[in-house]
Chain A
Amino acid sequence: MQISAKLRIATIAAATTALMSTATLFGANAQETYRIGYAISKTGPGAPGAATSTTPNYEMWVKEINDAGGLKVGDKQIPIEVVEYDDRSSSEEAVRAVERLINQDKVDFILSPWGTGMNLAVAPILDRAGYAHLAGTAVTDKAPQLAQRWKNSYWLLGTGEQYAVEMAEFLKGLKDAGKINDKVAMIAVADGFGIELSKAGRAALEDRDFDLVYDKTYPLGSQDLATIVNDIKSLGADTFVAFSYPPGTLGLTEQSRVLGFNPKVFYAGVGTAFPLYKDRFGADAEGVVSLGGASENDPKIADYIKRHIAFAGREPDRWASIVNWASLQSLQQAIERAGSTDREAVNAELAKGGFDTILGTYKPGDQTFWQVGQWQDGKFVGVAPTSMEGAHELVFPKPAWKGAN
Chain B
Amino acid sequence: MTPFLKPDFIRPVAIGAAIFAALAFLPSLVDSYYMSLAISVVSFAVLATAWSMFSGPTRYISLATVVFFGIGAYTVAVLGEVMAFPLVLLCAGLAGTVVALLVGFSTLRLAGVYFVIFTFGLTELVRQVVSWYEVNVTREMGRYVFLDITQNDIYWQLLALFAVLLLTGFVLGRSRLGFALRIIGEDETVAKHCGIDVTRVKVALFVLSALFMTLTGAIIAPRWTYIDPVIAFNPMLSFQVVIMALLGGPRRLLGPLLGVIPLTLLFEVLTASFPNHFSILLGCVFMVIVYLLPGGVVGLYEKYRAPKKRTLSTDTETTRKSGEKTA
Count chain A CB atoms within 10 A of each CB in B37, B40, B226 and give the residue with the most: B226
Could you list 14 A-B pairs, sorted by A, with CB under 8 Å? A45-B230, A91-B231, A96-B40, A97-B271, A99-B33, A103-B32, A104-B272, A117-B230, A120-B144, A121-B226, A124-B225, A140-B142, A190-B131, A193-B141
Count chain B CB atoms within 10 A of each CB in A100, A123, A196 and give the residue with the most: A100
| Complex-state Cα separation, A120 to B139, whole angstroms | 20
Asked whether, in the complex, the Cβ of B225 is within 8 Å of the Cβ of A103, the reply is no
The verdict on A191 contacting chain B, using a C-beta distance below 8 Å, is yes
In the complex, which of the residues A97, A102, A120 contacts B226, with contact meaning CB atoms closer than 8 Å? A120
The verdict on A69 contacting chain B, using a C-beta distance below 8 Å, is no
The verdict on A92 contacting chain B, using a C-beta distance below 8 Å, is yes
Asked whether, in the complex, the Cβ of A95 is within 8 Å of the Cβ of B36, the reply is yes
Asked whether, in the complex, the Cβ of A117 is within 8 Å of the Cβ of B226, the reply is yes
Count chain A CB atoms within 10 A of each CB in B31, B131, B135, B220 and give the residue with the most: B135
The verdict on A85 contacting chain B, using a C-beta distance below 8 Å, is yes
Map CB proximity to B onto A86-108 as digits: 1 under 8 Å, 0 otherwise.
10101111011101101110000
Known contacts A43-B278, A85-B275, A190-B135: does B236 contact A90 (CB below 8 Å)?
Answer: yes
Asked whether, in the complex, the Cβ of B236 is within 8 Å of the Cβ of A121, the reply is no
Which chain A positions have C-beta within 8 A of B220? Answer: 92
| Complex-state Cα separation, A295 to B74, whole angstroms | 42
Asked whether, in the complex, the Cβ of A217 is within 8 Å of the Cβ of B135, the reply is yes
| Complex-state Cα separation, A194 to B141, whole angstroms | 9
Asked whether, in the complex, the Cβ of A90 is within 8 Å of the Cβ of B234, the reply is yes
Map CB proximity to B onto A109-124 as digits: 1 under 8 Å, 0 otherwise.
0000000110011011
Which chain A positions have C-beta within 8 A of B272? Answer: 85, 100, 104
CB-based nearest A residue for B226: A120
| Complex-state Cα separation, A322 to B193, whole angstroms | 71
Map CB proximity to A onto B193-231 as digits: 1 under 8 Å, 0 otherwise.
000000000000000000000000000100111111011
Q: Within A58-99, which residues are at the interface with B (CB < 8 Å)? A: 84-86, 88, 90-93, 95-97, 99
Which chain A positions have C-beta within 8 A of B132? Answer: 190
Which chain A positions have C-beta within 8 A of B275? Answer: 42, 84-86
CB-based nearest B residue for A85: B275
| Complex-state Cα separation, A42 to B36, whole angstroms | 21
- Shortest CB-to-CB span from A212 to chain B, Å, is 14
Asked whether, in the complex, the Cβ of B33 is within 8 Å of the Cβ of A100, the reply is yes
The verdict on A192 contacting chain B, using a C-beta distance below 8 Å, is yes
Interface residues on A, range: 35 or more
Q: Which 7 A-B pairs have the closest CB atoms?
A: A120-B226, A103-B33, A192-B141, A99-B36, A195-B141, A91-B224, A190-B135
Count chain B CB atoms within 10 A of each CB in A142, A190, A199 and give the residue with the most: A190
In the complex, which of the residues A86, A103, A140, A192 contacts B271, with contact meaning CB atoms closer than 8 Å? A86
- Shortest CB-to-CB span from A155 to chain B, Å, is 13
The verdict on B317 contacting chain A, using a C-beta distance below 8 Å, is no
Asked whether, in the complex, the Cβ of B228 is within 8 Å of the Cβ of A117, the reply is yes
Asked whether, in the complex, the Cβ of B225 is within 8 Å of the Cβ of A123, the reply is yes
Q: Within A162-204, which residues are at the interface with B (CB < 8 Å)? A: 190-196, 199
Q: Which residues of B contact A (CB under 8 A)?
A: 31-37, 40, 131-132, 134-136, 139-142, 144, 146, 220, 223-228, 230-231, 234, 236, 268, 271-272, 275-276, 278-279
Asked whether, in the complex, the Cβ of A96 is within 8 Å of the Cβ of B37, the reply is yes
Asked whether, in the complex, the Cβ of A95 is within 8 Å of the Cβ of B135, the reply is no
Known contacts A90-B236, A123-B225, A190-B131: does B141 contact A196 (CB below 8 Å)?
Answer: yes
In the complex, which of the residues A43, A93, A192 contacts B228, with contact meaning CB atoms closer than 8 Å? A192
Q: Which residues of A contact B (CB under 8 A)?
A: 42-43, 45, 84-86, 88, 90-93, 95-97, 99-100, 102-104, 116-117, 120-121, 123-124, 140, 142, 149, 190-196, 199, 217
- Shortest CB-to-CB span from B235 to chain A, Å, is 11
Asked whether, in the complex, the Cβ of B230 is within 8 Å of the Cβ of A95, the reply is no
Which chain A positions have C-beta within 8 A of B141? Answer: 190-196
In the complex, which of the residues B134, B224, B231, B236 contacts A195, with contact meaning CB atoms closer than 8 Å? B134
| Complex-state Cα separation, A140 to B146, whole angstroms | 15
Which chain B positions have C-beta within 8 A of A92? Answer: 40, 220, 223-224
- Shortest CB-to-CB span from B59 to chain A, Å, is 29
Asked whether, in the complex, the Cβ of A96 is within 8 Å of the Cβ of B36, the reply is yes
Other than the known A117-B224, A192-B228, A199-B140, what 5 A-B pairs have Cβ atoms closer than 8 Å? A86-B271, A88-B271, A100-B272, A104-B33, A194-B141
| Complex-state Cα separation, A8 to B271, whole angstroms | 28
Count chain A CB atoms within 10 A of each CB in B31, B34, B35, B272 and give the residue with the most: B272
| Complex-state Cα separation, A140 to B225, whole angstroms | 13
| Complex-state Cα separation, A84 to B34, whole angstroms | 19
Asked whether, in the complex, the Cβ of B33 is within 8 Å of the Cβ of A102, the reply is yes
| Complex-state Cα separation, A192 to B130, whole angstroms | 13
In the complex, which of the residues B34, B135, B140, B226 contacts A91, with contact meaning CB atoms closer than 8 Å? B226
- Shortest CB-to-CB span from B126 to chain A, Å, is 15
| Complex-state Cα separation, A117 to B279, whole angstroms | 22
In the complex, which of the residues A85, A86, A95 contacts B223, with contact meaning CB atoms closer than 8 Å? A95
CB-based nearest A residue for B136: A217
| Complex-state Cα separation, A86 to B276, whole angstroms | 7
| Complex-state Cα separation, A102 to B35, whole angstroms | 13
| Complex-state Cα separation, A210 to B231, whole angstroms | 36
In the complex, which of the residues A88, A117, A193 contacts B231, with contact meaning CB atoms closer than 8 Å? A117
| Complex-state Cα separation, A381 to B135, whole angstroms | 32
Which chain B positions have C-beta within 8 A of A100? Answer: 33, 36, 272
- Shortest CB-to-CB span from B29 to chain A, Å, is 14
Which chain B positions have C-beta within 8 A of A42? Answer: 275-276
In the complex, which of the residues B32, B36, B271 contacts A85, with contact meaning CB atoms closer than 8 Å? B271
| Complex-state Cα separation, A93 to B141, whole angstroms | 22
| Complex-state Cα separation, A190 to B138, whole angstroms | 12
CB-based nearest B residue for A149: B146
CB-based nearest B residue for A124: B225
- Shortest CB-to-CB span from A128 to chain B, Å, is 9
| Complex-state Cα separation, A90 to B231, whole angstroms | 7
| Complex-state Cα separation, A191 to B140, whole angstroms | 9
| Complex-state Cα separation, A84 to B274, whole angstroms | 10
- Shortest CB-to-CB span from A87 to chain B, Å, is 9
Count chain A CB atoms within 10 A of each CB in B220, B230, B236 and give the residue with the most: B230
Asked whether, in the complex, the Cβ of A121 is within 8 Å of the Cβ of B271, the reply is no
Which chain B positions have C-beta within 8 A of A195? Answer: 134-135, 139-141
Count chain A CB atoms within 10 A of each CB in B141, B144, B268, B278 and give the residue with the most: B141
- Shortest CB-to-CB span from B146 to chain A, Å, is 8
| Complex-state Cα separation, A103 to B225, whole angstroms | 21
| Complex-state Cα separation, A282 to B310, whole angstroms | 75
In the complex, which of the residues A86, A91, A104, A193 contacts B278, with contact meaning CB atoms closer than 8 Å? A86
